[in-house]
Amino acid sequence: MTDGAMQRYTLTLNKFLDHAAKWHPHAGVTGALDNGGVEQTDYLVLRRRARRISALLAGLGIGVGDRVATLAWNSRAHLEAWYGIMGMGAVCHTLNPRLTDSQSAAMARQSGARVLIVSADLAPLGQRIAALAPALTELFVIDGDGEPPALESALEDLDDTAVSWGDFDEHSASGLCFTSGTTGDPKGVLYDHRSIYLQTLRLLQADVLGLGFGDRVLAAVPMFHANAWGLPFATPAAGADLVFPGRHLDGASLARLIATENVTLAAGVPTVWLGLLEHLEAQGGELPSLKRILVGGAPMSATLMARLEQRLGVSVQTSWGMTELSPLGTITPAAEPRRDAASAGRVAVGMDLLLTDEQGTPLPEQRNVEGHLRVRGAAVVERYLGQRHGALDERGWFATGDLARIDAQGRLTITGRAKDLIKSGGGWINPAELEAIAGALPAVAQAAVIGRRDGRWGERPVLVIETKPAQTIEDREILDAMRDRVASWWLPDAVVRVDRMPLAGTGKIDKKRLRAEFGQA
């Protein structure tokens, strides 16, 4: 008997845009412009333009596996570049415009990118990076005019059928993103088509994003941050509309865009939603179309979550992930009966979690105990770019560096970062617990705890806070809030106040900088 067989259907990322263009041609992308207006493009037109970018790159000698860098804000043109690069089998290396010239150039040299696509207002930065990365010989501008030449004009006479899409192995690399480097040196994570395709299917599950063709999704998470959390793939796959804010993430701009474009789901880091909330509280206004806010990239305080839900009438979906996870690890379902800002949510099929001791031995009990969190799945890194040794342990698990608990219902709570733990007098202090207490105080906007060198104890905790505008709080009030909730020797030795908490390019608190400024004896 001859066995039956199924069709070969390679899991390449161009298929999401192909699907949207064929079956949802009236949906598409709305992008905010610097003049306050918007531009709208349906998926059918966007696909044609992306394929012309593929033709342009092919004419420059770019092929499967070659790196093409982007240095751009969230826009329609940037999305076209993504699909134009990935659709032909090249690798999209997203550079972070908030990094220094030398940092970005080092990443570009490591990736070997030969072409850079850059937003017009970032062109001077792009040229400085190219001067430090000799392989970058071709630069094109999007979202405006100037030098180098505009990508728009270079596409005018190109044939959108000249280059085939998806004609390569699904294990081919698709994207490259470097870790944020808030606690250590950035490392390159190279995604492949299959891993991101499977990650996208996870995102579309009902208890994850659960997108439908009636949704309008605001991607306030920068496109240079870990696949923009998968929205550029999941949204066209669902036939939903994608809304880009450009480079304007202030509260007033976001409120106007959400209201005028009837956004139903918005995704971004907590600082973005704090700015939106403060604008609405000061200026008034309603956002009736907005139903859900997806938060990631950094922990959200219980106070901010409650304020958002009460003021906007939305459901806040907290999540946890890493660049190494493509990036989603867990998420709180919108219908979760007991939603908690401290919870990172539940794991969806395609990802598995494991708690271990410090040496990596699995804990005998996996519920209601704290352990070192390890993960595995189809979209989890196996080896960092340029590193000979793999990133997995002997059992095939990736050590996230996080400390965590999993409750009886399978909800994950990140309790701290192993690297952030402060060893004082032979005992361990978990900064995350202190930060949660301080961050819940009404006058505190952001809080971070770092270790300061101490001649007697080795390290002692120091609390760094940013207060809300026009609000004050005494050191004594902060420490009193902690006294009955943590051991007395955990109490910070000092409270440092900053006008603005230093943030890394992805919106996370930059603890490396805090340690450099306040961590010395």
Q: Which residues are catalytic?
A: 179, 324, 423, 428
Q: Quote the DSSP letter at residue 298.
A: S
- Whole-angstrom distance, CA of residue 289 vs CA of residue 300: 23
Check if the beta carbon of residue 183 is closer than 8 Å to that of residue 420.
yes
Q: Which residue has the tokens 């961050």?
A: 439
Q: How far is CA 142 from the centre of its chain?
A: 22
> What are the beta bridge partners of residue 321?
328
Structure tokens at 7: 């069709």
Phi and psi dihedrals of 282, rounded to 5? Answer: -85, -40
Query: Minimal CA–CA distance to 381: which of 454, 327, 305?
Result: 327
Q: Which residue has the tokens 């930065």?
A: 125
- Whole-angstrom distance, CA of residue 131 vs CA of residue 499: 35
Phi and psi dihedrals of 103, rounded to 5? Answer: -65, -50
Structure tokens at 232: 């550029």
Check if the beta carbon of residue 269 is closer than 8 Å to that of residue 304.
no
Q: How far is CA 207 from the centre of its chain?
A: 19
> What are the beta bridge partners of residue 293?
266, 316
- Whole-angstrom distance, CA of residue 134 vs CA of residue 132: 6
Residue spans of beta strands (DSSP E) within 233-285 = 241-244, 265-268
Check if the beta carbon of residue 399 is closer than 8 Å to that of residue 393.
yes
